[in-house]
Amino acid sequence: MDFEQRVKDLGIELPDYSKTPYYGPSYGSMKAHHQVGNLLFLSGHVPELMDGTVVHPGMLGRDVTTEQGYQAARLAGINAVAGMKYALGDLNRVVSIVRSLNLVVCTPDFYDVHKVSSGSTDLFVEIFGEAAGLGGRATIGVTSLARNHCFENWVTVEVRD
């Protein structure tokens, strides 16, 4: 499967971090990614537009619905795929999603964190197919994230030279 073409076929517009830098360093000391051998470690990605707009800010179970959280997680997934493209130059270098750690800001009695993080991991399957796009996953409910984001993911990717 041609992953670059798949993104186009799905009508997904990836941010271009070579033109507008990855937003992560605006939150503190970090770099966009780090590669060790055939593993690419992405820094966190959030549901933020290129102009800095936070999409669906707030807390699941209070300010944000499960569907809005799913859409926020999907946008964070799109931003993570853009991070892969920025790091690798070509999405066809992706072998597989190894794992993702997903953080959902929520009230203590919100138990559908897994439904929110599926917004991101479902996107990976849509783009890379089940064999390459379905990795391990953990989802954790947290009390806050920078700039009132409701979601953040941290993705590890197997890559080819």
112 lies in some domain:
yes
Cα(158)–Cα(147) distance, rounded to whole angstroms?
A: 30
What integer pLDDT is reported at residue 23 of this predicted model? 81
CATH number of 39's domain: 3.30.1330.40
24 lies in some domain:
no
3-state SS assignment for residue 50? coil
Number of domains in the chain: 1
Virtual torsion, Cα 161, 95, 31, 121, nearest 10 deg: 170
41 lies in some domain:
yes
13 lies in some domain:
no
Amino acid identity for residue 42 in this structure:
L
What integer pLDDT is reported at residue 100 of this predicted model? 98
CA distances, 54 to each of 63, 105, 110, 114 (Å) = 14, 14, 21, 21
CB within 8 A of 102, min separation 6: which ones?
Answer: 73, 113, 116, 117, 120, 121, 137, 138, 139, 140, 151, 152, 153, 154
Place of tokens 């009230």: 107
Q: Which domain holds residue 92?
A: 34-159
In contact, 106 and 63? CB cutoff 8 Å: no
What integer pLDDT is reported at residue 26 of this predicted model? 83
Cα(105)–Cα(36) distance, rounded to whole angstroms?
A: 30
139 lies in some domain:
yes
CA distances, 145 to each of 44, 58, 59, 118 (Å) = 11, 9, 10, 19
39 lies in some domain:
yes
What integer pLDDT is reported at residue 25 of this predicted model? 80
103 lies in some domain:
yes
What integer pLDDT is reported at residue 4 of this predicted model? 98
Consecutive sets of 10 residues in the chain, 161 residues long: mean pLDDT of each? 97 94 84 96 96 97 98 98 98 98 98 98 98 98 97 98 88
In contact, 46 and 141? CB cutoff 8 Å: no
What integer pLDDT is reported at residue 20 of this predicted model? 87
What integer pLDDT is reported at residue 28 of this predicted model? 85
9 lies in some domain:
no
The pTM assigned to this predicted structure is 0.97
